[in-house]
Copies of this chain bind each other. A is one copy, B any other.
C-alpha cells in the first residue's frame, strides 16, 4: 500500500442489530494503522481513541491513515474509517512496539476471579431470539460467570458488572490488534443494573498495555454512572498469564426504551 489507504470487509456476523459492533470496527481501523506504521517500527496500538460517527453496516470499508508525528518510542496517527463516502469512525492513536518497550512496571490490579470455563454459561444457553438479534454472539466462545448473568432470568445484581472467559475464532489470532475487539463484545454491564438493551458506543478508548499470551482471555465490564441516557463502561482484558493486557473505557448511548420518560 504505502498510500495510507487500506481496504477491508466487515463481516455481517459481527452485527448487533443492524449495526456492526464498535470494537470490531475499531479493530478494522487499528489493523490499518498497524499495516501503515508496523514497517516503520510501530506495530502495536498503545492508546486508541475512537469516536463513532455513524453506524457501520456489513461490507466494504476503507481506512485512510494520516501519520501525525513519529517520535522515538511512539508514533501518533489519525485514521478515518469510511464506507463509500460516509465516515463511520474517527480514530486517533499512539502506536509503538510493546515487545521492545522497557521501563518501570508495577500493578495494583487484581485478575478477576471466575469459575473455570466449563462451569460458566456458554452460547448454548443463550436464547435463539437473542442470538438472532445479536449475531455477533455466535462468532466467539464466551463463557459468562454465572454470578453476573442474573439479568438473563430477570435478576440483575445491581452491581453493574459482567465478566467471562473469551476465546476469539481461529481466524482472528490473538495479538495486540484484536484487544479493542475483545474489550467490546461482552453484553453491556448495564444489563446487570437492570437496564435492558444493548447500548451504542459513542466513544471508546483502549489502552493496550501488554502483548497477550496465547489462551483464554478474561474480560470484565463495569458500569458505574448512567446520566442523561448515556453510560460509561470500563473493560479490563486479562491474558492467560494473569496480566492486565488492555484497559478500555467507553461512553455509550443506552438503547431507546419503550415508553421512555
Contacts and interface: CB of A to CB of B under 8 A. Distances in A.
A49 B92 CA distance: 8
A247 interface: yes
A49 B46 contact: no
**Stoichiometry (number of copies):** 2
A232 interface: yes
Interface in A84-123: 87, 90, 92-94, 98, 101-109
A130 interface: no
A202 B101 contact: no
A247 B225 contact: yes
Interface in A222-239: 223-230, 232
Interface of A: 46-47, 49, 51, 53-54, 68-69, 73-74, 76, 78, 87, 90, 92-94, 98, 101-109, 159-160, 193, 195, 202-203, 205, 207, 209-210, 223-230, 232, 244, 247, 249, 251, 253-254, 257, 260-261
